[in-house]
Amino acid sequence: MTQELGGFAALGLNPNVLAAVIATGYEEPSAIQLQSIPVILAGHDMIGQAQTGTGKTAAFALPILSRIDPAKKEPQALILAPTRELALQVATAFETYAKQMPGLNVIAVYGGAPMGPQLKAIRQGAQVIVATPGRLVDHLRRDEKVLSTIQHLVLDEADEMLKLGFMDDLEVIFQAMPESRQSVLFSATLPHSIRTIAEKHLRDPKHVKIETKTQTVTAIEQAHLMVHADQKVAAVCRLLEVEDFDALIAFVRTKQATLDLASALEAKGYKVAALNGDIAQNQRERVIESLKDGRLDIVVATDVAARGLDVPRITHVMNVDMPYDPESYVHRIGRTGRAGRTGRALLLVTPRERRMLQVIERVTGQKVAEVRLPDNQQVLDARIRKLTSSLAPLVADAEASHGDLLDRLIADIGCSPRALAAALLRKATNGQALTLAEVEREQPLVPSASAPRERRERDGERSGERRAPVPLAEGRVRCRTALGTRDGIAAKNLLGAILNEGGLVREAIGRIQIRESFSLVELPEDGLDRLLGKLKDTRVAGKQLKLRRYRED
């Protein structure tokens, strides 16, 4: 496993934390992780200067979890974040990395949620508190000893906290913690106010800085598409319908994602292969050769697996998952547009990743234009163009070579030439949808994450509005949870929780639909009551899952 993980196994992490990293599928530490983890593990205070999207959450979560004692039922680590959204994101990351640490609990503390359950979770010994400053100060007013056992403090996006006016709250929080704590500060910039905090509250801090050099990629046409995380596979499939590519490399973050996406595309008829750290060198070479000679058209890869991949026929790069940093983005899209050729790079961006897109634009010095998902008419037009292109070369001598056979078939079947041609077309296209109505039934339009609110509401996205239910597969039942997008929930969060706590295999779980105030999950009907019992105490993003059978009548 050491080879697959790159540098993670050599960083001195707690074995249980390392096991969780293996389970996530991350293959190699980012630059900020490589530099920060040893410093934090050694117990030093630290100032880390890094942009959003560089992997800084894992840079402090992994070493802090490695230093926490799950047997002690008391708060040991405090992570301060400027917004509720970031707090939920960081708490989810800690829960992911702590999956192999029995007895370790994480609580997200933020405004807009009842204070009672939050304070109760802290008093019951949640070892990791992820909080926004304002709400944490509210808790300190109720119980000034809440933070008396904190050994590790992290200020995440400190510059944003100060912009939001949390300076006074931070001072209150600092005074409530032991002076002997370890303090780590992360900030994209280091203005005077941040330096003042560091001088006052950090002890001989080590400095870690990730440089972002301006880079240009002028030969490559770049575009981005706003999508929700659980819509990525559907969005990729729709984009591939209309993109005129020769060969394409799709980048994802984890080994499991390479397998999942490659499987989905293979089911659509594409010649595709996965490339990740589990692939042996000789098999990797065969994949690259197949891409070069046209036996493969698409490779789904992680960054580390794609190193050294140089295939001239690659016309497109698709960033299905956002890279950790701008340099990785430039490196990825450089797989196309080589040797004076032009290339096209597409980037899928979730709502939480908008800031990273801005960082990429600043570092590359280029605007990454936004495009919309192709609509049903565009998909239909693309299919007909491809069919026309494939048939046009065959028409020239078709009548001379097959005219007599055509006449015989018409006579034997007793049909018109038009009916026979239509039947042959259907056979040649394997029944592919080639009318607008068929395309609409086959793949309903995936709403873009940047679509105007009015259009989403018109399409039935309005909270509380009931849509026509998608037919259930035989043997499955639909269940409901009160958690939705407003709670920071994505489909992968629900999927991971149900797989881990319910003991199911991926194939047993059907469609997951995320709404603003609730979500729907398709589960096996056989043994449902037993499964829901297993999931009774499961928490996602710090909140109870509380799955119930969904009554659609």
Long-range contacts from 103-111, C-beta under 8 angstroms, 24+ separation: 103/70, 103/71, 103/73, 104/65, 104/68, 104/70, 104/128, 106/130, 106/542, 107/542, 108/541, 108/542, 109/135, 109/136, 109/139, 110/84, 110/135, 111/84, 111/135, 111/138
Angle between helices 56-67 and 15-24 (to 10 degrees): 150
For residue range 79-106, what is the model confidence (pLDDT) as tens digits? 999 888 788 889 988 999 999 999 999 9
Looking at residue 222, what is its pLDDT? 93
Looking at residue 454, what is its pLDDT? 39
User: Whose CA is closest to 80, among 16, 21, 156?
Assistant: 156
CA distances 151 to 35, 102, 127, 141, 495, Å, are 21, 20, 10, 21, 33
Tell me which H or E stretch contains 497: helix 491-502
Looking at residue 347, what is its pLDDT? 96
Place of tokens 């994480």: 106
User: Whose CA is closest to 149, among 127, 172, 175?
Assistant: 127
Q: Is 183 left (phi over 0), alpha (psi -120 to 50) or beta?
A: beta
Looking at residue 46, what is its pLDDT? 96
Residue type, 57: T
Per residue of the chain (553 residues), give pLDDT as tens. 333 445 788 898 999 999 988 887 777 788 889 999 999 999 999 999 876 656 788 999 999 999 999 999 999 999 999 888 788 889 988 999 999 999 999 999 988 788 888 988 998 899 999 999 999 999 999 888 999 999 999 999 888 888 778 888 999 999 999 999 999 999 878 888 888 999 999 999 999 987 655 555 667 899 999 998 888 998 998 899 889 899 999 999 888 889 999 999 998 889 999 998 788 878 888 898 899 899 999 999 987 777 667 788 899 999 999 987 777 788 788 888 765 567 899 999 998 888 889 888 887 888 899 998 888 888 788 787 877 777 777 776 776 667 778 788 888 888 888 888 778 777 777 666 666 776 666 654 455 565 544 344 344 433 343 444 556 777 888 999 988 887 778 888 888 888 877 877 777 888 888 888 889 999 988 888 888 888 887 888 778 888 988 876 5
Looking at residue 177, what is its pLDDT? 95
Say if CB 266 and CB 274 are below 8 A apart: no
Residue type, 539: R
Q: Give the C-alpha separation, 146 to 129, whole Å.
A: 10
DSSP state, residue 430: T
Looking at residue 498, what is its pLDDT? 86
Token pair, residue 265, equals 């595309």
Residue type, 303: D
Looking at residue 501, what is its pLDDT? 79
Token pair, residue 30, equals 């980012």
Burial call 477-498: b when 16+ CB within 10 Å, e when fewer: ebbbbebbbebbbbbebbbbbb
Looking at residue 442, what is its pLDDT? 64
Say if CB 202 and CB 47 are below 8 A apart: yes
Say if CB 305 and CB 276 are below 8 A apart: yes
For residue range 407-462, what is the model confidence (pLDDT) as tens digits? 888 888 888 888 887 787 777 776 666 667 766 666 544 555 655 443 443 444 33
3 state SS for 359-427: HHHHHHCCCCEECCCCCHHHHHHHHHHHHHHHHHHHHCCHHHHHHHHHHHHHHHHCCCHHHHHHHHHHH
Other residues' Cβ atoms within 10 Å of the Cβ of residue 145: 9
Other residues' Cβ atoms within 10 Å of the Cβ of residue 264: 17
Q: How many CA atoms lie within 13 A of 394 on its CB side?
A: 6
Say if CB 146 and CB 176 are below 8 A apart: yes
Token pair, residue 484, equals 């939705």
Give the E-state strand segments of 267-321 in sequence order: 272-275, 298-301, 314-319
Q: Give the C-alpha separation, 46 to 184, whole Å.
A: 5
3 state SS for 16-43: HHHHHHHHHCCCCCCHHHHHHHHHHHCC
Looking at residue 543, what is its pLDDT? 80
Looking at residue 458, what is its pLDDT? 41
3-state secondary structure of 280: coil
